[in-house]
Amino acid sequence: AVRPVKAVRVLGQDFVLFRDAQGSYGLLDRDCPHRGADLAFGRNEGDGLRCPFHGWKFDTNGQCIETPGEPAGSLLCTRIRQRSYPLVERSGVLFGWFGPEEQTPPPFPALDCFNAPASHTFAFKGLWNCNWLQAFEVGIDPAHASYLHRFFNDASLDDSYGKQFRGASAGDVGGERWPMTRVMREFGQPLISFEAKPHGLQLTALRPMTDELTHVRVTNAVFPQTFVIPLSETMTITQMHVPVDDTQNYWFAFFTSFTTPVDKDAMRTPRLAAVTLPDYKPKSGRHNNWGFNPEEQQTRTYLGMGEDDINVHDQWACESMGAIQDRTREHLGTTDKVIMANRRMLQQAIDTV
């Protein structure tokens, strides 16, 4: 709010992000190339970021433009350049390219959430205290929705905007719209299949409901850490789990409407209530048992951690395993076939590298 400078940690590396007076963004290594002081505390002077230690200033490309303590006429600054990283803005989020400096970034992924007009997308994020992989594995697990997100009662469909599993499943059947909560609650044995795709895996969960009706839910897993799932009849969530380091990750969710523009205030307000700014840290966590309410668990929800925001349900599932889950203690079942397939893909990718 006071100055557009932010410390950023991604993939176990520390960076500083800032915006100059012309609106250009710069993402630089965080340690000043002079003596290593933290540039996240730098002075944003409009034309560059100045290190308070000795006054060295850097533009958004990382070029040193001033070394004021050096003798008059010194050309030292012309030979100093801090590593900078190319940035692309899509759907309200900045993406950095962290590959080798001599390489050209590949084409940006042409996902729906990035091709849609700005009016039809909305992005939000949150911090989880666990590694990215166990968070991602929750997103590609179709079976858990019938249990972790089970509600004992169906709320009004008129108040379901932006709420996952609170809306209707697609379509009118016999004059009735089935709430997703009812589908998930009554049909807890999905038939899960998957197919390899160029982007990763496409998985399908079938829930036979009546002789005429089967509920179909499709998830696309974009290797290695993105999945696309339905939010409602007309909206999808594209969610990315971005490693901060080995024990933390940020989820970035892009909501894409395929009909009318997104009501961004309606999407933002309840989600802001669950985090603290500026770092989007969740208010619920291990420190307060993720808001667990035993009475609610007996009477209203399967988990007992709230009805308004199911994100905390997934947060509990991921974080309660520990920051790095001990997978040697797992006993996987038939419904974990997608988890197994994704781990095989990951192991193959590791072997390739």
DSSP symbols for 236-271? EEEEEEEEEETTEEEEEEEEEESSSPP-HHHHHHHH
Supply the pLDDT for residue 308. 83
Q: How far apart are CA 139 and CA 267, in angstroms?
A: 20
Supply the pLDDT for residue 174. 73
Is residue 284 exposed (0-12), middle (13-18) or buried (19+ Cβ within 10 Å)? buried
Q: Where in the chain is the domain with CATH 3.90.380?
A: 112-352
* Whether the predicted pLDDT of 272 surpasses 80: yes
* Whether the predicted pLDDT of 177 surpasses 90: no
Supply the pLDDT for residue 232. 87
Supply the pLDDT for residue 227. 97
Arithmetic mean of pLDDT, 159-175:
73
Q: How far apart are CA 240 and CA 166, in angstroms?
A: 22
What are the distances in angstroms from CA 113 to CA 96, 109, 240?
Answer: 17, 10, 12
Q: Where in the chain is the domain with CATH 2.102.10.10?
A: 5-85
pLDDT in tens, 318-339: 999 999 999 999 999 999 999 9
Supply the pLDDT for residue 161. 76
Supply the pLDDT for residue 89. 95
* Whether the predicted pLDDT of 210 surpasses 90: no
Among 3.20.20.80, 3.40.50.150, 2.102.10.10, 3.40.109.10, what is the CATH number of 5-85?
A: 2.102.10.10
Q: Does domain 112-352 have CATH number 1.10.287?
A: no
Least confident interval from 32-46, 177-191, 275-289: 177-191
Q: Are 312 and 306 in contact (CB under 8 A)?
A: yes
**pTM of structure:** 0.92
**Nearest residue to 80 (alpha-carbon basis) of 105, 104, 48:** 48
